Amino acid sequence: MDAMKFCAAVAAVAILFGAAGAAQAQIEPSPAFRVQQPKKKAVRKTQPAPAAETVAPAERPAAPITTAAVAAVAGVTQHATHPAKRAPYPPAKENCRNTVPFETWRANFKKLAAQRGLNRQTIAIVDGIQLNPAIISRDRKQSFFAMSFLDFQNRLATANRVQSSKRKVSEHRRTFERAREEFGVPASVITGFWALESDFGAGMGKFPIMPALVTLAYDCRRSEMFTEELIAALQIIERGDMTPSSMIGSWAGEIGQTQFLPTRYLDYAIDYDNDGRINLFSNDDDVIGSTANYMMNLGWRPNEPWLEEVRVTKDLPWDQADLAIKLPRSQWSQWGIQYADGRPIPSDELQASLLLPMGRFGPAFLAYPNFDIYTEWNNSLNYATTAAYLATRIDGAPAMSKGRGDTNGLDFNQTKELQSLLVRRGYDVGKVDGLAGAKTRAAVKDMQIKLGLPADSFATPELLSALRRG
């Protein structure tokens, strides 16, 4: 897979893994991560938006998406800076079968769209769209994130992306400064996502979005989620922001250079340069402002770090290394954790989790409350950690350590076997798919504790062998 295809694949996996995170991870950041205090927290009101343009790829999760209820008023829409939350999406129905004929589903959807206030002309758009089984197959086959964190970040958090991001920050310094003042989000964080999602617009994709949304809304796996996204896409068209033919990009239905789902676009996309239209395809100001607006509404905390690389000792209570466990930095300091360069971490009450994406021998990070925003954006831990690490590199942090020993993890097939063995023991690992998600990691940790192994939540051949014997 070449670099551009790899980037497109990352974006595509965004929606599927995206909107609700598996993590939770705050005062004095190290100098590389420090952000100036915003002068004020301005509530930004935006102008009505006619026409935008083309679209991009990505897949994000079927979990809660922090977005607002949208009134479908053709031509005029006001975007709230603090919208109400949409209802959470239900979990994906893995291995489900489609039993409703497509034409029956289409008729039912059109009735729902009418109930939501869409006009007949807009609703009629779905009449000309046919089911695409290849999209269903693609949605259900997700082996992309099976690679290790070190391999994943090595492919994505490249020196070229660091330099491209720094150039983008320099090119739009005033806009980034304004966004920091109004929303509290640093330029490095925005550009980190921007680089990974589309390489600043170079990899937005060329797939018609409407057929993708219709197909995914029909498919039983995440029908509730994509039904809402399809309705939102029709609302975007009805109010005049885009046309069906201009909605081009991701097979998974995302919009623009930082890959907004249609609901996110409706709730958070803003006309940041006040030219009378929202354009997330070729207007950098709108991309910057909209991304910052979205992150602020996810709960970004100004002037706090998000991720810092640290050095761990050989003896730690490894079962405390868990994104669900937050302890004051004073406790991590007491256990001997230092910054990667050997400096002591502050012994204060700032809450942080110890993140070991490849176990106790691999790279180690303190993950702060702002890291939760990364797992809200995309709940693949590999993606979230890579995006957060890339942002620190853009801010000047050195390249990460590879760890202090052999990480010795499992490959894709071994992980599937491990998941099957855990299921036999009564654990809920989610889908047996070779991807070590949050449920699999929790099951691994519990099994490690039962077997008297270091409980760092990282599956190893040693654990797999023990389960085979057991």
Structure tokens of 282? Answer: 């070729």
pLDDT at residue 83 in the model: 66
What is the number of other CB atoms lying within 10 angstroms of the CB of residue 470?
Answer: 11
Among the ranges given (81-85, 97-101, 184-188, 332-336), the one the predictor scored with the smallest mean pLDDT: 81-85
Residue type, 218: Y
pLDDT tens across 229-288, in order? 999 999 999 999 999 999 998 888 999 999 999 999 999 999 999 999 999 999 999 999
Query: In the prediction, which pLDDT does 404 show?
Result: 80
Name 424's Cβ contacts closer than 8 Å, sequence gap at least 6. none
What pLDDT is recorded for position 138? Answer: 87
* 193: phi then psi, degrees, rounded to nearest 5: -65, -45
Which of these, 435, 446, 379, 437, lies nearest to 411 by C-alpha position? 435
| Nearest to 260, CA basis, from 272, 247, 273 | 247
More confident site: 370 or 401: 370
pLDDT tens-digit readout, 374-430:
999 988 899 999 999 999 999 999 999 988 877 878 988 999 999 999 999 999 998
Q: How far apart are CA 194 and CA 377, in angstroms?
A: 12
Burial 101-124 (b: 16+ CB within 10 A, else e): eeeebbeebbeebeeeebeeebbe
User: For the ranges 72-86, 92-106, 241-255, which has the lowest average pLDDT?
Assistant: 72-86
Q: What pLDDT, on the 0 to 100 scale, is given for residue 234?
A: 98
Name the average pLDDT for the chain.
83
Residue 166: pLDDT above 60? yes
Q: Where are the beta strands (DSSP E) in 32-143?
A: none
Contact 412, 210 (CB under 8 A): no
Residues in the chain: 470
40-49, 90-99, 144-153: the lowest-pLDDT one: 40-49
Assign 310 a pLDDT band (cuts: 50, 70, 90). Answer: very high
DSSP per-residue letters across 221-257: GGHHHHHHHHHHHHHHHHTTS--GGG-EE-TT-BBTT
For the chain, count helices (H), then strands (E).
Answer: 18, 7
Domains along the chain with CATH numbers = 3-18+34-298 (no CATH), 307-394 (1.10.530.10), 412-469 (no CATH)
Residue, of 431 and 76, whose pLDDT is higher? 431
